[in-house]
Structure 1
Amino acid sequence: MDISKMKALSYDELRALYREFLHSQSISKLTINTSYVDTFYLWRKGSKDLFWNTVTSADFENDAKEALIKALTENSTGNVNSLVNSYLSHLRRFRLFLASDGTNETSTPKQENIANHAYRHKKKTEVNVPEPSIEQVEFYLAKWDTLENYRLQENALNKLFFELCPNNTDIIDVLLKASALNDFYSTNIFSIYPVAKHICTLDIDARLKAGDVTFVGDIQYVNIGDTEKNFYSFATKYCSHHNPLDYPIYDSYVDEVLRYFRNRDGFSDFQDGDLKEYIKFKDILINFRAFYGLDKYNLKQIDQYVWLLGKDYFPKTYEKKMRGDK
């Protein structure tokens, strides 16, 4: 897109053109209406030059945050730290608009990929999930603390993994941990002993402590009889309960939320199958955190927030004990 031509447009002309782009992106009407207004906050409260200097800055993230904090402090009575992340997300989307040609017909391959995903999952994008923000994360982390069954089950697992059986060299210790995970999380592993025996053969303690993400792949494939089983979600849970800051948990609720926001906001262009490859999955979750300005939260907190969000907006037809495999 020719930035010089964009800069020559009036406020109303630019907003009208941007609104057409937003409608082409298969995002919710609420998001379109909000973006149509909030994207241009710096123009309204500051100046045209301030807006353009900010969105085209080589150091966009820092310059945009600084400009928004200043403008919000001077003009808003709300919580500046909460509001700034929402406005930042709108400016990020506008920068995607500037990087495109503004239409669907000749969009980049990445944009086409995102649009195709959105079309295939149209019903899910019609669900009106609140945009990720500091306020939303705080709400769901507070909600987690009120859910006594989940909180106490997790505390029990923490005691088992961190205090009673921290290592993975004794088959009895590993059996206890694997059995507890299988029960609490309803991971539907019907023969847990081969899984525990497999884990014991891997000499995993140093790798877990170091946060080696390749290790999930080593755990997830287990031969039971003549059949190779893929216990991907269980493997992420087993690693996470040893090192929760380095190993976020994959499950179907998290999968739903990440695909939803990819389709709606385009925070990433991953393929659905990438979520089943742990190295890619962790990178996608980190990109999600960065896109929505949630870097103050560790991956464990983001994990809890995304899971509860998915549980609220993409409920299953049956209830699981905690965070079960599919």
Structure 2
Amino acid sequence: MDISKLKEMPYDELRVLYKQHLHSLNISKATINTASVDTFYLWRKDSKTLFWDTVLSNDFESEARSRLLKTLSEHSSGNVNALVSGYLSHLRKFRLYISSDSTWEQSETNQVKTEKNTNLRRTKKDIVIPSPTVEQVEFYLTKWDGLENYHLQEDALNKLFLELCPNNTDILDILLKASTLNDFYSTNIFSIYPVAKHIRSLNIDTRLDAGDVTLVRDIQHVTISNKKRSFYSFATKYCSHHNPLDYPIYDSYVDEVLRYFRNRDNFSDFQNDELKDYVRFKDILIDFRGFYGLGTYNLKQIDQYVWQLGKDYFPKNYGKKKRGDK
């Protein structure tokens, strides 16, 4: 098979062929699904001719960026300068695919060799996440609503935090909430009573209602058996379940996604350790929302979207990870 035969293929047939190739590269299912759609954005939104003219252009980088910017401006409500990088990356990979001699006819031996080589190492550099758009957020929020285990868990916590035990003056109420969070979200706090006692001592209710972001720092630092401990992720969750609109949750998945888009699109210039400073973390999440034109969504919705991205594209190598783990 040659490029001229590829150009004759209808959209669905070419997309299936390319998807088969992506599966052979040992990359994540989420990345495959994204690449098999976003690679052909120009075709879907404009025409087959524009797609192939762009892919085969002698001045590919310039032509592809220009045509993507134009098409995105006509069809997307997001920040087109930020979105273009993701689509351009997919087109580059497709160009490599069609220029490879092994694309069309590979012997069984070569196929096995390729699979062995790709299985040796897969790094974060191989990951391509679709750019944040209204469509992407809507997709993941709908997906969230369909995750019965997470949805029911959230409902149970809302009932506990907002209806049954809304205040933080009774140590029994605090102990019940802290223990439930620790169990549901596997925050690995081995001794929960000192944490509950610490929370009660802070008289946090007025500050929670006011959305005081410095409260997270005060809750996270606890002394247990004469040792200073930091339960940052837990502290963000405890505050968030009292006031979800003012306290987005930090965890490692959210951390990964924010650093990924900082490195790719420069939506912010934060240092990695700033994500562990809650005041700064919330500002970074607000910057993320503004940069990608997602201002119609509250921070709870942005948090749910970003967390699911992290879970899809940065899966852990151990066990099943629950929402909000460190």
Supply the AA of the counterpart residue of 2:152: L
Report what 1:247 is aligned to.
247
Deviation at 1:88, TM superposition (A): 5.7
Unaligned runs of 5+ in 1: 1-15, 21-31, 43-67, 73-79, 94-121
Cα deviation 1:109-149 (Å, max 9, x = unaligned): xxxxxxxxxxxxx9324301111100100000000011111
Which SS does the other structure have where 1:229 is aligned? strand
Deviation at 1:313, TM superposition (A): 0.5
Q: In the alignment, is the contact (CA less than 8 A) between 1:124 and 1:260 conserved in 2?
A: no
Q: In the alignment, is the contact (CA less than 8 A) between 1:125 and 1:263 conserved in 2?
A: no
Report what 1:38 is aligned to.
68
Report what 2:24 is aligned to.
none
Report what 1:140 is aligned to.
140
Deviation at 1:322, TM superposition (A): 2.4
CA distance in 1, matches of 2:217, 2:134: 32
Report what 1:172 is aligned to.
172
Report what 2:238 is aligned to.
238
Q: In the alignment, is the contact (CA less than 8 A) between 2:237 and 2:324 conserved in 1?
A: no
Q: In the alignment, is the contact (CA less than 8 A) between 1:185 and 1:320 conserved in 2?
A: no
The count of residues paired between Structure 1 and Structure 2 equals: 236
Question: Which of structures 1 and 2 has the bigger CA Rg?
Answer: 2
CA distance in 1, matches of 2:70, 2:315: 36
Q: In the alignment, is the contact (CA less than 8 A) between 2:77 and 2:134 conserved in 1?
A: no
Deviation at 1:85, TM superposition (A): 1.1
Report what 2:220 is aligned to.
220
Deviation at 1:18, TM superposition (A): 11
CA distance in 1, matches of 2:272, 2:163: 37
Report what 2:78 is aligned to.
85
Deviation at 1:19, TM superposition (A): 4.5
CA distance in 2, matches of 1:157, 1:318: 26
Supply the AA of the counterpart residue of 2:167: N
Deviation at 1:309, TM superposition (A): 0.7
CA distance in 1, matches of 2:258, 2:66: 24
Cα deviation 1:69-128 (Å, max 9, x = unaligned): xxx3xxxxxxx5xx12153635999xxxxxxxxxxxxxxxxxxxxxxxxxxxx9324301
Cα deviation 1:167-207 (Å, max 9, x = unaligned): 00000000000000000000000000000000000010010
Supply the AA of the counterpart residue of 2:303: D
Greater RCO (Cα-Cα under 8 Å, separation 6 or more): 1
CA distance in 2, matches of 1:222, 1:284: 26
TM-score normalised by length of structure 1: 0.67
Which SS does the other structure have where 2:275 is aligned? helix
Which SS does the other structure have where 2:242 is aligned? coil
Which SS does the other structure have where 2:228 is aligned? strand
Report what 1:109 is aligned to.
none
CA distance in 1, matches of 2:295, 2:255: 20
CA distance in 2, matches of 1:132, 1:36: 20
Report what 2:285 is aligned to.
285
Supply the AA of the counterpart residue of 1:252: S
Which SS does the other structure have where 2:223 is aligned? strand
Supply the AA of the counterpart residue of 1:37: R
**CA RMSD of superposed structures (Å):** 2.6
Unaligned runs of 5+ in 2: 1-57, 87-121
Report what 1:319 is aligned to.
319
Q: In the alignment, is the contact (CA less than 8 A) between 1:125 and 1:264 conserved in 2?
A: no
Which SS does the other structure have where 2:80 is aligned? helix
Q: In the alignment, is the contact (CA less than 8 A) between 1:220 and 1:234 conserved in 2?
A: yes
Q: In the alignment, is the contact (CA less than 8 A) between 1:254 and 1:306 conserved in 2?
A: yes
Which SS does the other structure have where 1:237 is aligned? helix
CA distance in 1, matches of 2:211, 2:124: 34
Deviation at 1:40, TM superposition (A): 4.2
